[in-house]
């Protein structure tokens, strides 16, 4: 075979394609090249592994380096004619997003042994729609209050530091295979006992789901929640008043493995991801346990080996507001994702008791949005989807901040907001 790296260097006046090989190449590069070859260049999944081996030999590890080879007139010397022609045609044509998305599931199934896949968790793809972004059959209200599902607690884990104000737990529930759900949905919990005010059984409490449809055990039989223990501090007594504590949150946080749990749902379509457009940016804003749906989003995109993750080419940008560093939720997960996917994931924290604004005020999540307002508006103009989840008290400050920024740019915020809602780019779930 022609020594393409050396020849390319001579023709372009540059170093060999890709430079020195790294011991562990970025996973997104391999996935992007695989997707390009199968989805656009017409390489059969059966043979894509062999073509990738040739690319590896020639130090080609992304589509941009294929373009360098094409511009140097080397495609026909590196690849067999049918492959070279397909690559040439694909490089000259604009991407067909719909076509790429519909074939990505096949790509995943055919490339399970490729380098880089070991970094992702294998999941049972039979829980996906076909094509994967089709939400016409999303599970809704499978179990209702009159006919709930009986599950059990699998595990309860405190996920904030010792000095955090308040307690937050990650609750994993054994729900069985019949409780199917999608990322961004919610479920209901019916705590045991009766409401002392009316003597009736306790009503359903809704919680955002914090896992992907595969569950934390990746078998489609668990569902997870992120729950803050609700307590009431009585200033006159100088202590917590147990009579006023949150019934359901305390029941969940105090539960032990095997504790029975009564479930309803799943519910909701407002917070679904825009998977039909893998180029769309996803801007996620949360306070505290509002992080829950985004854990499902980010695991689906960057942790588990899903068709949505293989297709995603946008930016997932997470804004999280908490009071102290010890209150950060799932930080280790976000840091690991950021390290592996710096081009497609960004993390911005607002830690109100430890960070200050330029004017010396406390740093809340709306101040972080204001700092990045220009880029946020630009991304929204290009089709980004923006999500908000957390206490409803977060929204007035956020809306006021965005309105101020819009006004400074000569934009009518009321009109802009309506256009975002009409386009399905604005997603709010607060409580």
Using 50, 70 and 90 to split pLDDT, how confident is the model at 161? Answer: very high
207 catalytic? Reply is yes
What's the DSSP call for residue 110?
A: H
Q: What does pLDDT average to over the chain? A: 85
What pLDDT score does 23 carry? 33
Supply the pLDDT for residue 178.
Answer: 97
Residue 414 has pLDDT above 70, yes or no: yes
In order, the DSSP letters of 388-410 are EEE-TTHHHHHHHHHHHHHHHTT
Query: What integer pLDDT is reported at residue 42 of this predicted model?
Result: 86
pLDDT digits (tens, 9 = 90+) for 387-397: 999 988 889 98
Per DSSP, what are the bridge partners of residue 225? 171, 209
Which residues are within 8 A (CB) of 262 and not within 5 positions of it... i.e. 6 or more apart?
Answer: 148, 149, 150, 151, 189, 190, 191, 192
End-to-end CA gap in the chain? 63
Give the Cα separation of 62 and 55 in Å (integer). Answer: 9
The conformation of residue 144, written as its DSSP 8-state character, comes to B
Ramachandran angles phi, psi of 249, nearest 5°: -65, -40
**Residue 115's pLDDT is what?**
37
So what's the pLDDT on residue 355? 94
Please say if the pLDDT value at position 165 is more than 70. Answer: yes
Report the alpha-carbon distance of residue 350 to residue 368 in Å, rounded. 6
Catalytic residue among 174, 175, 208, 211: 208
Alpha-carbon gap, residue 87 to 159, rounded angstroms: 48
For residues 57 and 152, the model is more confident at 152
Predicted model pTM: 0.74
Summarize pLDDT for 192-214 with one digit per residue, the tens: 999 888 999 999 999 999 999 99
Element (H, E) at 271: none
347 CB-near residues (< 8 Å, 6+ apart): 318, 320, 334, 335, 338
Question: One of 143, 207, 251, 330 is an active-site residue; which one?
Answer: 207
407 C-beta neighbours (distance < 10 Å), count = 11
- Does the pLDDT of residue 101 top 90, yes or no? no
208 part of the active site: yes
Give the tens place of pLDDT for each residue, 118-157: 578 999 999 999 999 999 999 999 999 999 999 999 999 9
pLDDT at 155: 96
Q: Which of 6-20, 288-302, 371-385 has the lowest mean pLDDT?
A: 6-20
Concerning whether 226 is annotated as a catalytic residue, the answer is no
Query: Residue 345 pLDDT more than 60?
Result: yes
- Percent pLDDT > 90 in the chain is 65
Point out the annotated binding site for NADP(+).
208, 228, 289, 352-353, 362, 390-391, 429
- 131-141 residue pLDDT tens: 999 999 999 99
* Mean local confidence (pLDDT), 30-59: 83
Q: Check residue 46 and give its pLDDT.
A: 81
């Amino acid at each position: 075979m022609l020594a393409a790296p050396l020849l390319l260097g001579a023709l372009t006046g540059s170093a060999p394609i890709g430079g020195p090989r790294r011991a562990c190449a970025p996973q997104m590069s391999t996935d992007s090249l695989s997707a390009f070859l199968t989805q656009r260049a017409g390489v059969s999944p059966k043979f894509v592994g062999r073509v990738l081996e040739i690319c590896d030999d020639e130090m080609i590890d992304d589509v941009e380096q294929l373009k360098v080879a094409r511009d140097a007139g080397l495609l026909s010397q590196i690849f067999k004619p049918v492959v070279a022609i397909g690559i040439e045609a694909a490089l000259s044509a604009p991407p067909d997003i719909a076509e790429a998305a519909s074939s990505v599931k096949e790509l995943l199934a055919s490339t399970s042994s490729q380098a880089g896949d070991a970094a992702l968790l294998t999941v049972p793809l039979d829980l996906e729609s076909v094509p994967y972004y089709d939400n016409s059959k999303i599970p809704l209200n499978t179990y209702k209050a009159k006919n709930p599902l009986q599950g059990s607690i699998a595990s309860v884990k405190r996920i904030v530091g010792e000095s955090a104000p308040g307690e937050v737990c990650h609750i994993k529930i054994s729900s069985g295979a019949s409780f199917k759900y999608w990322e961004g949905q919610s479920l209901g919990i019916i705590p045991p006992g009766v409401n002392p005010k009316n003597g009736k059984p306790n009503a359903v409490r809704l919680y955002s789901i914090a896992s992907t449809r595969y569950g934390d055990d990746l078998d489609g039989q668990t569902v997870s929640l992120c729950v803050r223990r609700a307590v009431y501090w009585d200033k006159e007594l100088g202590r917590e008043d147990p009579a006023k504590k949150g019934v359901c949150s305390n029941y969940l946080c105090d539960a032990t493995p095997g504790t029975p749990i009564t479930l309803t749902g799943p519910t909701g379509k407002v917070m679904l991801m825009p998977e039909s457009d893998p180029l769309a940016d996803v801007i996620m804003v949360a306070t505290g346990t509002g992080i829950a749906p985004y854990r499902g989003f980010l695991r689906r995109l960057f942790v588990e080996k899903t068709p949505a993750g293989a297709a995603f080419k946008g930016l997932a940008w997470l804004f999280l507001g908490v009071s102290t560093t010890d209150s950060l939720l799932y930080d280790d997960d976000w840091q690991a994702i950021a390290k592996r996917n710096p081009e497609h994931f960004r993390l911005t924290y607002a830690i109100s008791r430890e960070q200050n604004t330029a004017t010396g005020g406390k740093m809340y999540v709306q101040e972080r949005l204001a700092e990045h307002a220009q880029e946020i508006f630009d991304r929204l103009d290009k089709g980004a989807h923006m999500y908000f989840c957390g206490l409803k008290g977060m929204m007035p400050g956020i809306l006021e901040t965005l309105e101020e920024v819009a006004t400074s740019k000569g934009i009518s915020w009321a009109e802009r907001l309506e256009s975002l809602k009409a386009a399905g780019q604005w997603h709010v779930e607060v409580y």
